[in-house]
Structure 1
């Protein structure tokens, strides 16, 4: 017979640490990805609204950029990593125009925390995130 006194506490500590560290990292990663997802979705939605309700095309462009940079700073999104695409339906009409539907697409990538930038690991382990929002422009848009 062997004497196993005191080994259960050591096993509990070792197993607890081995299970707690990955679980804690998973919570941090999911929180980071969720924050980026909410930010991209908010940017797309608010930019579409601002563009659709702007009085003219120049104001729409400047307000859309302002909304995008404001939301990016609030949600911790890097402005350089954000891609914004604005289109209008039906095809071929200027964007925005009366009666058109403005579609705003915002895309970025969420980089995982604590991943070093060595050998491009931070880019290889990033999670792509994209959100699309559509807003109808008033038929009276641009009318005096």
Structure 2
């Protein structure tokens, strides 16, 4: 059975009206999928930078603490190490909280004592401003590092 000329013209005009829509659909769907993926990469990059900063700051602070000459200067040395390391990664000291623990003795700079620095860093998510102080859009990253006080400490 043969189609009439009239039905061929209808089919051809229907195909012509769809012309170029694949490009528009590709651009629209590509944008809808690409924007979240790019944001995910940015967010994961910021969190990874925060993880590296927290781990490095805890490690350097613990090392600086156990190498101090006196107990009075040990905390200051650890604090400076934290500030410097966080600044290297673009974070401020206000974004971090640090805790120093000593075991087995409460006197941290005793020979053979282990000093542990625990650091919590709040990494802000990119492109999202904080509404107020009670609801910051940040991810908390934690790191800990331990160093043992040398058995020759104080023998200088």
TM-score, normalised relative to structure 2:
0.84
Specify the alignment match of 2:55 in structure 1: 41
**Alpha-carbon separation, structure 2, partners of 1:62 and 1:128:** 24
Is this contact kept in 1: 2:95–2:123, CA < 8 A?
no
Unaligned runs of 5+ in 1: none
Specify the alignment match of 1:127 in structure 2: 139
Specify the alignment match of 1:71 in structure 2: 85
Count of aligned residue pairs for this structure pair: 142
Is this contact kept in 2: 1:111–1:122, CA < 8 A?
no
1:122 offset after TM fit, Å? 5.6
- Partner SS for 2:98: strand
1:14 offset after TM fit, Å? 0.4
**RMSD between aligned residues:** 1.6
Point out the more displaced range, 134-143 or 18-27. Answer: 134-143
**Alpha-carbon separation, structure 1, partners of 2:126 and 2:59:** 27
TM-score, normalised relative to structure 1:
0.91
Q: Which runs of 4+ in 1 moved over 4 A?
A: 119-122
1:116 offset after TM fit, Å? 2.3
**Alpha-carbon separation, structure 2, partners of 1:121 and 1:14:** 37
**Alpha-carbon separation, structure 1, partners of 2:134 and 2:43:** 15
CA displacement 1:79-122 (0-9 Å, x = unmatched): 112111111100x4312221100111111111111112225586
Is this contact kept in 2: 1:112–1:122, CA < 8 A?
no
1:143 offset after TM fit, Å? 2.6
Unaligned runs of 5+ in 2: 1-10
Specify the alignment match of 1:12 in structure 2: 26
Specify the alignment match of 2:155 in structure 1: 143
